[in-house]
Structure formats: C-alpha cells, structure tokens
Structure 1
Amino acid sequence: MTRIAPTWLEAFDKELLHLFAIDHRDAGVDEYLLGCYADLPPRQAALAFGSDYDLERDDALWPRPGVSL
C-alpha cells in the first residue's frame, strides 16, 4: 500500500479546493484512491481526478452570475 505524504495531500487538497471547491474528504476519496494519483504533482493529480470523476470546475477567474465586480 502506498503511504501518502502529508505535504502532497495538503497540496492536493488546496488544488481540489481551488479548482472544484471540495477537498478529498468531501469527494469521499480513500487512501487507496489517493494512491492512484499520488505519483502525479498535486495540481495534475487534482485535474486528473476531476476529469476522471466529471467534476465541474469552480473557476475563480470568471465572475459568477449576478456578482458585480
């Protein structure tokens, strides 16, 4: 079993939060599934996870409807 480095997991969660507004706990990701992505850098892992599970992006660069800048 692959042991997940705490620093990688923290960076992975930050990327998930930035891209999809969830962390690995919200997504229900267990240690086995984390191990499937742990060989990638955190951002690439978050993007791959989002693609594999059809998560909708939460693009902070685009204003949400009804929000004026």
Structure 2
Amino acid sequence: MYRIDSEWLEDFDEAMLGFFAIDHADAGMDQFLLECYADLPAREAALAFGEDYELCRVDTFWPPQGLALSS
C-alpha cells in the first residue's frame, strides 16, 4: 500500500480548490483513488482528476488562487 505524502495532498487540495472549488474529501476520493494520481505533480493530478471525472472548472473567481496582482 502506497502512503500519500501529506505535502502532496495539501498541494493537491489547494489545486482542486482553485480549479473546481472542492477538495479531495468533497470529491469523494478514497486512499485508492488518491494513489491513482499520486505519481503526478499535485497540480497536474488535480487537472487529470477533473478531466477524468468531467468536473466543471471554476473560472469565475478573480484573481485566480496564487495570482498576485501588482498595483
């Protein structure tokens, strides 16, 4: 059994929240399903999961998470 790295999971949840406004728990992901995506970088894993399960992107928030706007 593969252990999910806590830092990866935190980054994955952050990406999921930014792209789809849900985290892995909201998506119903169990240990097995997380392990299916854990070999990818967290951001790519979130996008791959969203594509595999046809999640709707949340592009209505501005600015996107992590984007710092300069004055």
TM-score normalized with structure 2 length = 0.83
1:1-69 to 2 correspondences below 5 Å: 1-59=1-59, 60-61=61-62
1: CA distance, partners of 2:12 / 2:31: 13
- Runs of 4+ aligned residues of structure 1 deviating over 4 Å after TM superposition are none
Give unmatched runs, 5+ long, in structure 2: 64-71
1: CA distance, partners of 2:24 / 2:42: 12
Identity of aligned residues (%): 61
Give unmatched runs, 5+ long, in structure 1: 63-69
Q: How many residues align?
A: 62
TM-score normalized with structure 1 length = 0.86
1: CA distance, partners of 2:56 / 2:2: 28
Give how far 1:61 is off: 4.2
**RMSD between superposed Cα atoms in Å:** 1.2
